[in-house]
Amino acid sequence: MTSALWLTGDAESDQLLSDDPFALLVGMLLDQQYPMEAAFAGPRKIRDRMGTLDPRAIADADPDAFVTMATTPPAIHRYGRSMAGRVQAVARAVVDDYDGDVTRIWTTPGAAGEAPTGAEVLARLEALPGFGTQKAQIFLALLGKQRGVTPAGWREAAGHYGDEGSFRSIADVTSADAMAKVREFKKAQKAAAKQAGTKQAGTKQAAAKA
């Protein structure tokens, strides 16, 4: 049995994420240009306002009404309007491709007719609206590290996000202390990228003057 998640610090929001795999998927979708715990609190806001988090209800909701719901303070995201469209799009994909059951993404047999591999689950996640490779790898790592979903080769498919003992992403957040460690890692990554960009720009300028 998997343990309860700690992703937001709010007991009710975390319980929803623990109980509802679609809520967890939506939280991952919203985890972009927004604090992690705020992104993963988004599914609870949707459920509380709509009275449900059923993928069919979300997919079939009037787009304008859904945007209004999503952008009503406190909004589900900094970019509530665009994210509302993405949430409805991913709900539609879950309904159309997996009969409304998000767990089928990682339980439907693979090409060999057996349990899907980590690479196959990753490919299915990448095919979802709003999910690029990085987001798909992080979600696969989250499933493997905290939800007991461990298809063959999942760590390899998740890349460094699947590394044991790392603090790279939301997949490694199990407490406030772990959240702080992940934030420090992200901060260091951004600083390194900025420094590399500055160095590259300086090299180009020097070459132009030569």
CB atoms near residue 198 (< 10 Å): 10
d(CA 105, CA 55) in angstroms, rounded, equals 14
Q: Give the per-residue pLDDT at 1.
A: 45
CB atoms near residue 186 (< 10 Å): 14
Asked if omega into 74 is within 30° of 0 (cis), the reply is yes
User: Helix, strand, or coil here: 181?
Assistant: helix
Nearest to 183 by CA among 66, 13, 68, 31: 31
Q: Give the per-residue pLDDT at 189.
A: 87
The pTM assigned to this predicted structure is: 0.90
d(CA 163, CA 7) in angstroms, rounded, equals 19
Query: 36-50 and 176-209 helices cross at what angle (nearest 10)?
Result: 120
- Cα-Cα-Cα-Cα torsion 66, 71, 76, 80, nearest 10 degrees, comes to 90
Stretches in the chain below the pLDDT threshold 50: 1
- CB burial of 31-64 (b: ≥16 within 10 Å; e: otherwise) equals bbebebbbbbbbbbbbbeeeeebbbeebbebeee
Question: Is the separation of the CB atoms in 170 and 141 below 8 Å?
Answer: no
Determine the straight-line distance between the first and last CA of the chain, rounded to whole angstroms: 64
Question: Is the separation of the CB atoms in 9 and 176 below 8 Å?
Answer: yes
Q: Give the per-residue pLDDT at 73.
A: 96
